């Protein structure tokens, strides 16, 4: 009599696809993952001006659902207005997001928005991560998920990283003179959708090349 033996082989979860950007002054990785699903000390997202006309899409809906509608509740002209450069830091409730902290940066009005606005966002990204003592933040521009789709993800990423690297260079200068008490940011993970991975990487590479001149 033959006895069958069933072997249970554990199935490993597929890891999100990521690409390291070559030549950057610090490790920069482009990762295909939603900000609603990351596990990190600091997840950064962006929101346009708080208005019923500016609806959430894609990963912002996912994030809002995991936060039990919190984004809907704070998006109010008397709460988080969403003006360009406005910031809000929160600690997500246990069991909601995988991120320990969530930083929201305002993008301003959808009609006047341009990729150049993201220079400021990149600077704020570095400054706030340093202030919060987070060495390896995750960033998602959430422009498309905020309803603006007339710019490529590469155009946006180029401006974000341009501002981010400029802030990093200034921090290194101040730190060398013992004039900065924040924690240096040593790496950045930039989130992108799968279909926008190549465009995002190309934009970051352009910013890295410009910063190295």
**pLDDT tier at 1 (50, 70, 90 boundaries)?**
very low
For residue 73, pLDDT beyond 50: yes
Second-level CATH architecture of 38-211: 3-Layer(aba) Sandwich (3.40)
Contact 110, 122 (CB under 8 A): no
Instruction: State the SS3 of 68-103.
Output: CCHHHHHECCCCECCCCCCEEEECCCCCCCCCCEEE
pLDDT, tens digit, 9 for 90 and up, residues 21-42: 999 999 999 999 999 999 999 9
Contact 130, 90 (CB under 8 A): no
Q: What is residue 8's DSSP assignment?
A: -
**pLDDT tier at 3 (50, 70, 90 boundaries)?**
very low
Q: What average pLDDT does range 45-50 have in this prediction? A: 96
Q: pTM of this prediction?
A: 0.91
User: Domain boundaries in the chain?
Assistant: 38-211
């Amino acid at each position: 009599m033959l006895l069958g033996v069933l072997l249970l082989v554990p199935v490993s979860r597929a890891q999100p696809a990521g690409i390291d950007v070559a030549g950057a002054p610090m490790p920069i990785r482009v990762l295909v993952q939603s900000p609603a699903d990351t596990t990190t000390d600091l997840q950064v997202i962006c929101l346009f001006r708080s208005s019923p006309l500016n609806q959430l899409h894609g990963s912002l809906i996912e994030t809002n659902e995991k936060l039990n509608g919190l984004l809907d509740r704070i998006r109010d002209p008397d709460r988080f207005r969403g003006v360009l450069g406005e910031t809000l830091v929160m600690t997500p409730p246990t069991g909601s997001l995988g991120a320990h902290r969530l930083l929201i940066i305002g993008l301003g009005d959808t009609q006047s928005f341009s990729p150049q606005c993201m220079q400021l966002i990149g600077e704020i990204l570095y400054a706030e991560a340093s202030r919060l003592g987070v060495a390896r933040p995750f960033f998602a521009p959430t422009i498309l998920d905020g309803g603006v789709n007339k710019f490529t993800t590469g155009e946006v990423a180029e401006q974000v990283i341009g501002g981010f690297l400029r802030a990093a260079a200034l921090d290194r200068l101040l730190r060398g003179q013992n004039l900065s008490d924040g924690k240096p940011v040593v790496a950045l993970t930039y989130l992108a959708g799968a279909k926008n991975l190549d465009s995002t990487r190309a934009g970051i590479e352009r910013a890295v090349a410009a910063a190295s001149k």
